[in-house]
Structure 1
Amino acid sequence: MIAILTDSHSLAQIIARVVGAQRKHADLYESDEYCITWVAGRIVDLAPPAAYGRARLTPDLIPLIPEPFKLGIRQEMTARGMTTDPTAVRQLHIVDDMFARCRSIIAATEAGAEGEITFRWLYAYLGYTKPVQRLWLSALTDEAVREGMTHLRDSRDGDALYAYADTRAKADWIMRVNASHALANAAGMGRNALGRLMTPTLAVIYARYRENKAFTHAARWQLAMTLREGEALRRFRYAGRIGSRKTADSLYSRCTRCGQVRITSVEHRTAYQAPPRLYDLTSLQKVCGERFGISAARTLAAAQSLYRKQLITYPQTESRYITQEVMATVPQLLERLFRQEPFASMRVHIDPKRLSHRSVDQAKVAGHHALLPTGQQPAGDLTQVEQKVYESIIMRTIEAFAPRCRKEVSLVEATVDGLQFRSRSVHVLQPGWRAVCSHEDDTEQDETDDPDVGFSPEETMPFGGISLGTGHTMPEPLYSEATLLTAMQTAGIAAAAERARIIEALFERGYIERSGKTIIPSERGLQLYDMVRDLLIADREQAQRWEQALAQIGRRERSAEGVWQDFVVFTRQVTDQIAALRSMPWPKM
């Protein structure tokens, strides 16, 4: 018999249907050839400090660097403290019994880093040495599972991915455990937590907050005039910078005294706005946050649910591209989408013989391609959030393969008493992809529906009006979840699926709060930030360098052992810095 282990009940059901395992028991499916069961995520994890006889880490015991690390059954927080999760114990017994009866194993956990350590840690904890193959899926449709079962991978193909995930998890463990205990010892702040990625993220949020509040507004002036041609009006702006009120008043007076405008150049050109690329997880989370106010964590949860319901491809992707092989299936996919009632009217915007290839790039697909719908019809059981996420993915898919938006850009330059003014306008000639789903953020600056005014070079005329506007420079805005996700991605902080969990952890710890869509700091978080802001653990550039080093393990560019030894040295430096805080007076939190 062949044992198949998944990390979701829904996938176990699909595999059972595909392979004909029709005998259903309480926690598994069976046939004469296969036995299939599932676990609820990572039920075997890195053991806590207590497993090493170190329930509390005093200064002389820090840093704790286990050699080797111990694995243990997942723990959960209860009223009595941390205890072994009974669900994990029960599932482990079922898996152990299934593995004992089989001749070989198929690892069908999530096709990514998390799925790799979910299976391998469990397999190592149980101590089996039976042969293992890997089922690697980018979608959970029957067709995808059937194809995957026909082309099972050698488990050794995932060795580099496992080394990356394993080293990453252990690095997170030693930094979280040692830094948090070091802070408790140094400042008596035992209810606080520091982390390899959480603390740099906190620093990103709070640095922006402090910059925003310390910003000094500076006055600015804008000189503008309006020209009329028949009933049409066109607004021109002064091309120079105005540095003072005195200069602004002088320029205004100079224009009003002259009263005449000379057109110096008129340029019309055709421009194109390319269709947007397909979503990766972060761009999906950003759009759902900005348009619908859905948090990054809820967007991820909805996407995971849609994936399990066979409606979209693997959601935790960091690529916005697909391969040429996947592109070959897109015409059929679009046809299936257009058969669904809400999207039937979108057919007119697509030319199946001239699909955009902007999202096609084999070199930019590592692991999983961009998010796509599968074309399956929803069963009518979607939540409101799932429906919005699902429709967003479908609309983006149709947009991504639609034609370019064609525009005419007009640039007119004029002078008043030698002062140069410019006017730019953009008119949409053929909306192309923008006809699919019009959003305000698709609109280009200076885009207008007003008729263009026909000016000619060297033409002179009086201006219809002139105005002197005043304003102030503005600080960079405080982060929303959407803009924070972008900042984390730009800074190289965390993998796509982790970013939402880090943000939620900061909320749960009480370090940040929501004010509408804006993230604001809490008093508790400000105190922690002020304490660690100059330390290595809060350095976003250090976080980025470690993310890059860990990623090199997955690409087989560096050895896991080499990166690990370097990180151990770094952890000692971090805990030494935190220990030095002991001599400073800090408020109790």
Structure 2
Amino acid sequence: MKVIIAEKPSVARDIAAIVGATSRKDGYLKGNNYAVTWAFGHLVGLAMPEEYGIKGFQKENLPILPDDFKLIPRHIKEGKEYKPDPGAMKQLRVIRELFDKSERIIVATDAGREGELIFRYIYNYLSCSKPFDRLWISSLTDQTIRGGLENLRPGTQYDTLYLSAKARSQADWLVGINASQALSISSGSGVWSLGRVQTPTLAMICSRYLENKDFVPQKYWQHKLSLSKDSNVIVLVSEDKYNDRMDADKVAGQISQNGIATVKSIDKKTVKQEPPLLYDLTALQKEANSKHSFSADKTLSIAQKLYEGKLITYPRTGSRYLSEDVFETVPELLSGFSEHTLYGESVKRLNDLNKRSVNDAKVTDHYAIIVTGNKPDSLSGDENQIFEMILCRMLEAFSTTCIKEQTSVRFEVQEKIFLVKGAIINQAGWRSVSGIMADENEKDENSTLPPL
């Protein structure tokens, strides 16, 4: 019998349906010579100091540096004490029994550092020595799962990934336990928490907050000048800025009496704007915050749900590129959205795909976040926004270059310089997908200038 272990029950059900394990048992699914079980996230973790005989916060115990880190089942808090989680203990017993009966184990936890750690900690805690293979996939569609099962990789191929995850886990423990106890002892009262990531991140947030809180805005004045010629009206902005309103008013009076603005120089250039790269998790989180005010955690939670719903590929990726083989599937993935309310026309226009986001060398453990081709049946408002952001970005990334003709004009009035910029879109390219023809920093370049 082969045992497949997934990270969550929902993923286990998807895999079980593919391998024919349709018989429901307590803590696993069985059938066709397979047993498919699951963890509930981190079932096993590093033991706390009490497990090493160190109780309380005492200065003489620091630093706490275990020679060999112990693994224990997940604990939950009851009152003031932490006790083993009954649910975790029960599932570990199920996993142990299945591992003991298995010929070989297939690891189907999330294909990433944390997913690898979840399995290895369980495997080591149970003192298992059975051989195991790795299912390494980037989406949960039936086709992808089947392909992954046909191309299992040796588990030893991911030893370095596990060691990386283990080092991160132990570093968090060493810094968190020792720094928290040291601070609590030094303060003389209370329990204070410090962490390897938590503390520097909090420091950055506080620093930015104080910078914003202590910022004193400085007023300045500029002149705006409206010019009219042959029914064309353009608005210029002065190059000079004035800290004193009276100085600005004085110059304004001199300018308004002149009545003529002379063109001093015209600079025209053609600008090619390449399409944006596909999303990795960080880029998706940043843009979701900018557009929808979603927190990073909320965006990740929604993306994970879309992934488990087989609508997008693995979200915890650090790459913004696709490999050549995945790129070949893009036309098929997008073809099902030709009737999409917002992006259907963009799908139909997409012919020669731009390959800026295709680079085998820049694909890490996973490629960029893309849709799987499955159309959503019913999504909440927030889920739909994230899904459509990913679909839109795919269409943008594979569309043609946007070509603009940008014009910068310098006028002179009473020896004062005024500036205006204009832009003409010669080829909308990828910008036609969203219809937004300029970025925030280009908002002064949207006007079409008259002949000058």
TM class, shorter-length: over 0.9
Trace 1:450-469 onto structure 2 (pairs within 5 A).
450-455=447-452
List per-residue Cα deviations over 1:202-256 (Å, max 9, x = no partner).
1111111222222233332213322211221112223345465575456445534
* Superposition map of 1:4-403 within 5 A: 4-242=4-242, 244=244, 248=248, 251-256=251-256, 258-338=258-338, 343-348=343-348, 350-352=349-351, 354-380=352-378, 382-403=379-400
How big is each residue's C-alpha offset from its partner over 1:39-90, in whole Å with a ceiling of 9 and x where there is no partner?
Answer: 1111010011110111313011111111100000001123353111111101
**Alpha-carbon distance, 1:155 to partner:** 1.1
CA distance in structure 2 between the aligned counterparts of 1:100 and 1:423, rounded to whole angstroms: 76
Deviation at 1:321, TM superposition (A): 1.4
> How far off its partner does 1:193 sit?
1.0
- What SS does the aligned partner of 1:413 have? strand
**Counterpart-to-counterpart distance in 1, 2:292 and 2:241:** 38
Q: Is the 8 A contact 1:260 1:416 kept in 2?
A: yes
Q: How far has the Cα of 1:152 moved from its partner?
A: 0.9
| C-alpha deviation, 1:368, in angstroms | 0.7
The whole-number CA distance in structure 2 between the counterparts of 1:321 and 1:209 is 34
Distance 1:340 1:257, change over 3 A: closer
* SS at structure 1 position matched to 2:444: coil
Q: Which has the higher contact order (CA 8 A, sep 6+)?
A: 1
Whether the aligned pair in 2 keeps the contact of 1:44 and 1:122 (CA below 8 Å) is: yes
Which one has the bigger helix percentage?
1
The SS at the match of 2:56 is coil
Aligned partner of residue 267 in structure 1, secondary structure: strand
CA distance in 1, matches of 2:197, 2:189: 19
How far residue 440 of structure 1 moved from its aligned partner, in angstroms, is: 8.9
Aligned-partner residue type, residue 267 of structure 1: D
Q: Is the 8 A contact 2:279 2:393 kept in 1?
A: yes
Asked if 1:416 is matched to 2:413, the reply is yes
CA distance in 2, matches of 1:351, 1:215: 47
AA at the equivalent of 1:373: V
Opposite residue 425 of structure 1, the aligned amino acid is G
Is the 8 Å Cα contact of residues 340 and 377 (structure 1) preserved in structure 2? no
Change (3 A) 1:202 1:369: same
Residue 338 of structure 1: SS of its match in structure 2? coil
Alignment check: 8 A CA contact 1:426 1:446 kept: no
Task: Quote the Cα distance in structure 2 between the aligned partners of 1:52 and 1:439.
Answer: 60
Q: Which one-letter code corresponds to 1:290 in the other structure?
A: S
Match of 1:551 in 2: none
**How far, CA to CA, are the matches of 1:427 and 1:309 in structure 2?**
42
Q: Which AA in structure 1 matches 2:195? A: G
Q: Do 2:46 and 2:72's aligned partners in 1 also have CA atoms closer than 8 Å?
A: yes
Q: Which residue of 2 aligns with 1:426?
A: 423
The CA distance in 2 between the partners of 1:189 and 1:253, in whole Å, is: 67
- Can you list the C-alpha shifts for 1:143-185, whole angstroms capped at 9, x where unaligned? 1111111111111111111111100110001111111111111
Q: What stretches of structure 2 of length at least 5 have no aligned partner? A: none
Q: Percent identity?
A: 37
Alignment of 1:454-533 (within 5 A): 454-455=451-452
**Cα distance per residue 1:341-396 (max 9 Å; x no partner):** 66434334x332x212222222222111110010012243x333222222221122
Deviation at 1:22, TM superposition (A): 2.8
Distance 1:197 1:302, change over 3 A: same
Q: Matched residues in 1 for 2:4 and 2:237: separation?
A: 68
Question: What CA deviation, in whole Å up to 9, does each residue of 1:70-126 have, x standing for no partner?
Answer: 000001123353111111101100100000101111111110010111011110110
By how many angstroms is 1:429 displaced? 4.0
Cα RMSD after superposing both structures: 2.2
- Work out whether residues 229 and 454 of structure 1, in 8 Å CA contact, stay in contact via their aligned partners in 2: no
- Structure 1 CA distance for aligned equivalents of residues 192 and 437 of structure 2: 41
Taking the aligned partners of 1:99 and 1:317, their CA distance within structure 2 comes to 30
Paired residue type of 1:203: A
CA distance in 2 between partners of 1:437 and 1:189 (Å): 56
* TM-score of the aligned structures, taking structure 2 as reference length: 0.93
Cα distance in 1 for residues equivalent to 2:7 and 2:413: 71
Could you tell me whether the CA contact under 8 Å between 1:323 and 1:360 is conserved in 2? Answer: yes
In structure 1, which of residues 396, 403, 406 is the aligned counterpart of residue 403 of structure 2?
406
Distance in 1 between residues matched to 2:32 and 2:451, nearest whole Å: 80
CA distance in 2, matches of 1:229, 1:23: 81
For 1:14-49, what per-residue CA distance to the aligned partner results, in whole angstroms no more than 9, with x for missing partners? 222222223322321223422111111110100111
Tell me, which stretches of 5 or more residues in structure 1 are unaligned? Answer: 456-589
Does structure 2 conserve the Cα–Cα contact (< 8 Å) formed by 1:226 and 1:233? yes
1:452 counterpart letter in structure 2: L
C-alpha spacing 1:171/1:225, structure 2 compared with 1 (3 Å): same
